[in-house]
Amino acid sequence: MWGGGGYYGRPFEARNKPKGSSFTGDNKDFYRFELGSARVIPGFEEAVEGMKVGGIRRIIVPVELGYPNGDFKKLGPKPSTFAGERALDFVLSNRGMIDKTLLFDVELLRIQ
């Protein structure tokens, strides 16, 4: 089991395109999930596989490996604040030219 880690996520900022604000998972209850459980977006699970305790990775998740149908409420990681939910929802539900690529900074704290 991927025992938990802290993460900070935000829409990836593409040059000359509108930008969203950050959504963060920074709280006392770090995000936990089991690899292979299909509880997180595919891009996040692929990126953390093979990490060692104390490891830090920057993950860039293209839209096709992100939240299915733009719904961040079904799979994690999920924003921990209302402002984070609004920021992520704005980017994922926007039908315009907004780049839906996501960026996460992840630190693995423990493995159970």
- What CATH code is carried by the domain that includes residue 55? 3.10.50.40
Distance of alpha carbon 32 from its chain centroid, rounded? Answer: 13
Residue 17 clears pLDDT 50, i.e. is over it: no
Please report which confidence band the pLDDT of residue 12 belongs to, taking 50, 70 and 90 as the band edges: low
Q: Count the domains in the chain.
A: 1
d(CA 31, CA 1): 12
To the question of pTM greater than 0.75 for the whole model, the response is no
Segment 49-74 shows an average pLDDT of 88
Give the domain extent around 38: 2-111
As a whole number, the mean pLDDT across the chain is: 75
| Torsion sign over Cα 73, 41, 102, 110 | positive
Model pLDDT, residue 23? 46
